Amino acid sequence: MAAPKKGRRSPGGQGRPGRVLALILIAMVALTGGMFASGHATPRLGIDLAGGTSFTLEAKNEPGKPNAINETNMNTAVGIIERRVNGLGVTEAEVQTQGSKHIIVNIPKGTNATQARQQVGTTAKLGFRPVLTSTAGVKAPEPAPSASSDAGKDKDKSKEDGKAKPSGSASPSASTQGRPVTDALKADGTPSPKATASVSGEDAKNGQPSAKPSDKGDKKSPEPTPSAGGTAALQKQLDALDCSTKEGRAKANEAAAAAKTSDPIVACRKDGQVKEILGPVAVEGANVSGASAVFDTQQGKGWLVQLKFDSTGSKKFAQVTGQLASKPAPQNQFAIVLDGEVVSDPSVSSSITGGQAEISGGFTQQSAQDLANVLSYGALPLSFDIVTETTVTAALGGEQLRAGLIAGAIGLALVVLYLVIYYRGLALVALASLLCSAILTYTIMVLLGTAIGFALNLPAVCGAIVAIGITADSFIVYFERIRDEIREGRSLRPAVERGWPRARRTILVSDFVSFLAAAVLFVVTVGKVQGFAFTLGLTTLLDVVVVFLFTKPLMTLLARRKFFASGHPWSGLDPKRLGAKPPLRASRRRPSAPVDPKEA
């Protein structure tokens, strides 16, 4: 019988196991290098292991909606808050209802608690209001004496009367009233970046916004009320408002948030440098279908927020911006009001059509992402107050983690002891495979913590411990198939190759069932149980990788070594201990002819 040609893969599939081993070793080195390159050598821990911040939110009925607190609205609020928190790059956050009107939010350590507090407590009542008038954010000074040709006489007369003659208006000084916001602030020596609104979409022509609307379009919508000067009551509120202080802004935001959408309001801009009288809501936040933060590299605008309106909002936005474009500053500005606070007040120069717009000017990456995050996930159906905010320590979780790790170590030690006693030399293959699986699991968990924010919690640790048994079970299945072949009288090298197909089918079926259970558990559960399901599914996939790319090639190489191939008593493959039949070649001899008893 002709020998197989050199270099051709033998029917047994032994091939070149060295190359396969080199492949998985390179993968382990690459993952380990990526882990250290990311600057993190340990997995990210969940709130039960590392601690964090816990918020308790209490729902409140909206004015005119006495029955708004119900199961449907509470569940909707939980979903929105969870998406907002995840929008901050946080995972393993727990958002769940407690009782009929409370929501508990647990955020792991490492998250900006202040930022998260603003996100979970923000009602996100969004509205687009036209700016009627604006001035510097400081409180209006006391009325100054009238500057007229009789100033000297009035001055002398006022001295005689013991009081100064007030001007005939309660409005701010002429240096700011009725002028654009930027000019007003320049007069005070305070710079203020101006936001701008522009079109982005197929309606833009040569990079420019579309043309202003026709007179017909302007007549469809009434002019905002009150007039640019505002009513006396609003003007009085504007004069008395001091947006330069935190207390003044908070008071103004609360009053503006409680106002009806059909009423004009007095509001502060977020930076506190500008206060404004705003007309009724022209476009509601419910008409915003999406928002995203992007960095503009072409026109140098920096960070901006891109908005997308639905069909109703697109029509309203185009109509109102067309009206505002024909007016002088600051009445050509469109204030974006979030929970009573002016987030931005961009000016418009033409009608913005196409259902898309962008807000730019003065944004940092974080502020742009925060605004886009709130706009994307919508308004909460209820108002919430943060009634408690506590820091969660990891003391209890640390004790449980230590107990879990001790239990895992004991279990691993028992598995190793069993393998050494029962499989002897083959136990080295199992231990090497377990070490390979551990390295892959650990490095991937660290990298996932950096990439997607995966946090390791106590159930996830339990999933990793359970995976030890699943992985060891795969090795045992393969080893037993090899030993069965040796019992049939085959030598080690054919036994390794003939036992692999049957072991492979069993391993794949078993791992598929485990992965399917983990996937179903991950989909139908929430919170910490998902950590268990995720870890179990990940380690199950890695078990297949390790068995195919490490255990099998390693056994192929060891089968060529004398210690294992000769069936050394400590190899775990001793034919005598296994009760092997005589070699198959001996059984193939032609039996001798039977002897006739008569002839004997």
List of domains in the chain: 17-44+394-580 (1.20.1640.10), 52-120 (3.30.70.3400), 124-143+170-365 (no CATH)
pLDDT at 498 over 70: yes
**How high is the pLDDT of residue 121?**
61
Helix segments in 259-356, DSSP class H: 311-325
Confidence of residue 449 (pLDDT cuts 50, 70, 90): confident
Tokens representing 336 are: 């974006």
Task: Using alpha carbons, list the distances in angstroms from residue 302 to 347, 359, 373, 580.
Answer: 17, 11, 18, 76
Question: What is residue 123's predicted lDDT score, i.e. its pLDDT?
Answer: 62
Query: Which tens digits make up the pLDDT trace of 49-107?
Result: 777 788 888 888 766 566 778 887 787 778 777 777 766 666 567 787 877 888 888 77
Digit-coded pLDDT (tens) for 365-421: 877 877 776 676 656 667 788 888 877 676 666 777 788 778 878 888 888 898 888
Among 5-9, 87-91, 163-167, 503-507, the minimum mean pLDDT is found in 163-167
Mean local confidence (pLDDT), 158-178:
37
Q: Are strands 302-309 and 334-338 parallel, antiparallel or unpaired?
A: unpaired
Contact 122, 88 (CB under 8 A): no
Residues 343-367, mean pLDDT to the nearest whole number: 78
How far is 534 from 460, CA to CA, in rounded Å?
7
> pTM above 0.75?
no
Which residue is associated with the tokens 């440098």?
273
Rounded Cα distance, 194 and 271, in Å: 12
Q: What local confidence, expressed as pLDDT, does residue 553 receive?
A: 93
Q: What are 458-472's pLDDT values in tens digits? A: 888 888 888 888 888
Q: How far is CA 57 from CA 87, 102, 108, 147, in A?
A: 19, 5, 17, 55
556/242 Cα distance (integer angstroms): 80
Q: Are 334 and 345 in contact (CB under 8 A)?
A: yes
How many residues does the structure list for the chain?
A: 600
Q: Poorest-confidence range of 188-197, 379-388, 439-448, 468-477?
A: 188-197
With a CB cutoff of 8 Å and minimum separation 6, the contacts of 407 are 465
Instruction: Tell me the three state secondary structure of residue 575.
Output: helix
**Most confident by average pLDDT, 43-52, 179-188, 253-262:** 253-262
Look at residue 548 and tell me whether its pLDDT is greater than 80.
yes
Using alpha carbons, select from 218, 209, 205, 193 the residue that is nearest to residue 274.
193
* pLDDT of res. 505: 93
155 pLDDT higher than 80: no
Instruction: Report pLDDT digits (tens) over 221-274.
Output: 334 444 444 478 888 888 888 888 888 888 888 788 778 888 899 999 888 888
Quickly count: other Cβ atoms within 10 Å of residue 102's Cβ. 16
- pLDDT tens string 95-141: 878 778 888 887 776 666 666 776 676 666 778 899 988 888 787 66
Cis peptide, bond prior to residue 226, ω within 30 of zero: yes
Distance from the Cα of residue 75 to its chain's centroid: 20
Output DSSP code: residue 61: P
